[in-house]
Amino acid sequence: MTGLEPRLPAHLEVGALIRRANAEGGFASVLQKGEPDAGTILLVLTERGGSARVFERMPDLEGARSWRQSKAEMPDNKQEFYDWLDRRGAQDPDLWIVELDIADGERFIR
C-alpha cells in the first residue's frame, strides 16, 4: 500500500462540482476538458464575475492531496490571469479547467 488516497475519476468530480453549483443557484462551466480519469482539475472560483482565484490539489509531505490557491486575479491586470490560465492549459492537455461563479465557492473544496 502506498498510502495514497483513492482518486475519483476527474470527469465524475467535475460533473459533481457543476451539478452542485447549479443546484445552489450558481453558474459553472468547463473552460478546458481534460483526461477523463486521471486529469488534474484547476478550479476557478469567482462571485458575480468578481476577482477570480484558482485552486488545485497539491500533494503535501505525507502524500495527501489538498486544495490550495495557486493564482489570484489582480483587479488592475485581469488579462495576466487569463493568460496564465491559457498557458497552464496549453502545457497540460490532460488538465481540466472548471469555473464556478457562486458565493463562497471555497466551500465546495473544504
User: What is the structure's pLDDT at 103?
Assistant: 95
Distance between CA atoms of 37 and 80, rounded to whole angstroms? 30
**Residue 104 is inside which H or E element, if any?**
none
- Mean pLDDT value across residues 79-103: 96
Longest dimension (CA), the chain: 48
- pLDDT classification of 1: cutoffs 50, 70, 90: very low
Q: Which class would CATH give 10-108?
A: alpha beta
Q: What residue segments make up the domains of the chain, in order of their start?
A: 10-108
* Cell numbers standing for residue 30: 468547463
Grid coordinates belonging to 26? 450558481
pTM of the model: 0.89
In whole angstroms, what is the distance from residue 72 CA to residue 93 CA? Answer: 22
